[in-house]
């Protein structure tokens, strides 16, 4: 059962061969058994989960089920869920019980899905290794001495270790795609504005986007169908007709080759210095597989690719410094036990409540926004952001999808980069550009590299190309079995 897809689980539930209570119970047992070694879940609440499962079973019995009804999902602990502790991986919110649901949580609840628990993450989603969390690092299920990637490392590891059939995460600069790559699962960051940010604790609002994490492209489509939609409470939420993201999964019957006519752009900048040879080899093999399926390879260039990390690490901290000013020890969150006047209470609460990486980002953000440096850093980064978006616009005149590595290396050792922020930031080289441009992108497993660790292939598309990306990924997954591999020791 633990290897069933969402579609298979959905069918079993509909046919009453399995109840949501049984399914949820089975996953809760796996979480209890595997969590002490992996540190994936920050909060589980069996009573709450089982109450939702019973409600789902009632819907199933009444014939009112939707595709996700009764399916337990792991939620990154950045999504506010009513009555659930919602920590964002921080001491600042370690005791915060959310009084309301995020829009995504509302939508998944309305679809009848069950919240299995809240997953560990980098503090305030700042990181690429799930090591900056207040609750300790997450271990990679493929090798417990390695990181799972980040910041949605808990959600990724939950899916990889079969502690949940699927999960949700957020991606500001790669936090869905990179941990998906490093744990051998699939993850999708939608076009900016497709998924509401309401109730998703803000990191960098012009970049943040929620999305699904699962074992197959088909499952991602099912989840995105339930997560996407207009929400008036998010001023950047897009008002557009509902889409079925699974609609292109079946290859057109007339086509001799399932991906005939698809033009895949391969940017030369994504295969230069800094890319490990084992990752390059797996990605090359995947591109060859896509060609066998009928796709045509087009050499393209994204001339400003090297500027994406510097621009991102100005813009994201700038927005974070503003977003995180709300954590002042007054309204909610941590308050220092002892302080003098009001200013001292703010200072002590923030000094004690935030970890080192979060403080570094707040300092950088405040600096680049300050009078005298704004033009030199923040304004310049915004100009580069526009150039990066223009690079993609030019590229999508030559190709339909862009493919390359998700991460320059396989999962690295715990502790290897956490003391060197620049090394950590450089990991994001292939992922941050999609966020800066607001474009959709995803990662799927495409082989194994050094140490038998998973390699991820990144697929990126033009605005609203999610269904097209998912269809290409699905054809690849019909022809290969990388996405079906399970880490040893998680049986």
Asked if the bond preceding 303 is cis, omega within 30° of 0, the reply is: no
Q: Please tell me whether residue 67 binds ligand GLN under the rule CB under 6 A.
A: no
Catalytic residue among 151, 152, 155, 409: 151
Q: Is position 151 annotated as part of the catalytic site?
A: yes
CB of 256 to ligand GLN, least distance (A): 40
370's CB contacts (< 8 A; 6+ apart) are none
CA angle 128, 169, 145 (to 5 degrees): 40
Instruction: Give the separation between CA 407 and CA 431, rounded to whole angstroms.
Output: 8
Smallest distance, ligand GLN to C-beta of residue 320, A: 8
Q: Please tell me the distance from the alpha carbon of residue 392 to that of residue 440, in angstroms, as a whole number.
A: 12
Please give the structure tokens belonging to residue 340.
Answer: 């003098």
Tell whether residue 125 is a contact of ligand GLN (CB under 6 A). Answer: yes
Q: How far is the CB of 317 from ligand GLN (least distance, A)?
A: 8
Residue nearest to ligand GLN (CB): 175
Which tokens is 392 given? 């993609």
Three-state secondary-structure class, residue 276 = coil
Q: Which is nearer to ligand GLN, 312 or 392 (CB)?
A: 312
Q: Which is nearer to ligand GLN, 141 or 211 (CB)?
A: 211
Nearest to 215 by CA among 38, 460, 4: 4
CA atoms of 301 and 212, how far apart (whole Å):
29
Whether residue 205 lies in the annotated active site: no
Nearer of residues 53 and 202 to ligand GLN, judged by Cβ: 202
Q: Which is nearer to ligand GLN, 68 or 444 (CB)?
A: 444
Site string for ligand GLN, 163-202 (x = CB under 6 A): --------xxxxx---------------------------
Q: Residue 265 Cβ, how far from ligand GLN at the closest point, in Å? A: 23
Q: Residue 98 catalytic?
A: no
Judged by CB under 6 A, the residue of 77, 269, 319, 428 near ligand GLN is 428
User: Does 49 sit near ligand GLN (CB under 6 A)?
Assistant: no
- Report CA torsion sign: 362, 368, 372, 374: negative
> For strand 401-405 and strand 263-267, is the pairing parallel, antiparallel, or unpaired?
parallel
| Cα(386)–Cα(390) distance, integer angstroms | 6
Among 49, 128, 216, 477, binds ligand GLN (CB under 6 A): 128
Q: Does the protein bind ligand GLN through residue 123 (CB under 6 A)? A: no
Residue ranges with strand state E in 82-209: 114-119, 167-170, 186-189
Residue count, binding to ligand GLN (CB under 6 A): 13
Residue positions annotated with a catalytic role: 76, 151, 175
For ligand GLN, the binding residues (CB under 6 A) are: 125-128, 151, 171-175, 203, 316, 428
């Amino acid at each position: 059962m633990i290897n069933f897809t969402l579609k298979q689980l959905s069918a079993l539930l509909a046919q009453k061969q399995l109840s949501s209570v049984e399914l949820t119970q089975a996953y809760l047992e796996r979480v209890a058994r595997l969590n002490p070694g992996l540190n994936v879940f920050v909060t589980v609440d069996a009573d709450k989960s089982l109450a939702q499962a019973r409600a789902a079973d009632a819907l199933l019995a009444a014939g009112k089920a939707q595709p996700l009804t009764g399916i337990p999902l792991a939620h990154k602990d950045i999504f506010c869920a009513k009555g659930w502790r919602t920590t964002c991986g921080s001491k600042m919110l370690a005791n915060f019980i959310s009084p309301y649901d995020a829009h995504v949580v509302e939508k998944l609840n309305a679809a009848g899905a069950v919240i299995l628990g809240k997953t560990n993450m980098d503090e305030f989603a700042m990181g690429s290794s799930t090591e900056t969390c207040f609750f300790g690092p997450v271990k990679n299920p493929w090798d417990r001495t390695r990181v799972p990637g980040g910041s949605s490392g808990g959600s990724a590891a939950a899916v990889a270790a079969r502690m949940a059939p699927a999960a949700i995460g957020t991606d500001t600069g790669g936090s869905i795609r990179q941990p998906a790559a490093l744990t051998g699962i699939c993850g999708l960051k939608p076009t900016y504005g497709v998924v509401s940010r309401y109730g998703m604790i803000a990191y960098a609002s012009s970049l943040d986007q929620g999305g699904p994490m699962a074992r197959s492209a088909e499952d991602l489509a099912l989840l995105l169908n339930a997560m996407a939609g207009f929400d008036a409470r998010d001023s950047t939420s897009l008002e557009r007709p509902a889409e079925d993201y699974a609609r292109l999964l079946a290859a057109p019957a007339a086509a001799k080759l399932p991906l005939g006519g698809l033009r895949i752009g391969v940017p030369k900048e994504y295969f230069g210095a800094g890319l490990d040879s084992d990752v390059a080899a797996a990605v090359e093999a995947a591109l060859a597989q896509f060609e066998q399926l009928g796709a045509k390879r087009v050499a393209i260039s994204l001339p400003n690719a090297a500027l994406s990390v510097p621009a991102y690490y100005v813009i994201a901290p700038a927005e974070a410094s503003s977003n995180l000013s709300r954590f002042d020890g007054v309204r909610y969150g941590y308050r220092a036990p002892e302080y003098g006047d009001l200013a001292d209470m703010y200072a002590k609460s923030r000094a004690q409540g935030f970890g080192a990486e979060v403080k570094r980002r707040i300092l950088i953000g405040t600096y680049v926004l300050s009078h005298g440096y704004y033009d030199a850093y923040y304004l310049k980064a915004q100009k580069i952001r526009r150039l990066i978006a223009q690079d993609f616009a030019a590229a999508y005149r030559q190709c339909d999808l862009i493919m390359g590595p998700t991460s320059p290396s396989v999962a690295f050792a715990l502790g290897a980069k956490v003391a060197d922020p620049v090394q950590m930031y450089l990991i994001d080289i292939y992922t941050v550009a999609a966020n800066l441009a607001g474009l959709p992108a995803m990662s799927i497993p495409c082989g194994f590299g050094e140490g038998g660790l998973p390699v991820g292939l990144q697929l990126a598309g033009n605005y609203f190309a999610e269904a097209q990306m998912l269809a290409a990924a699905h054809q690849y997954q019909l022809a290969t079995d990388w996405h079906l591999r399970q880490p040893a020791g998680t049986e």
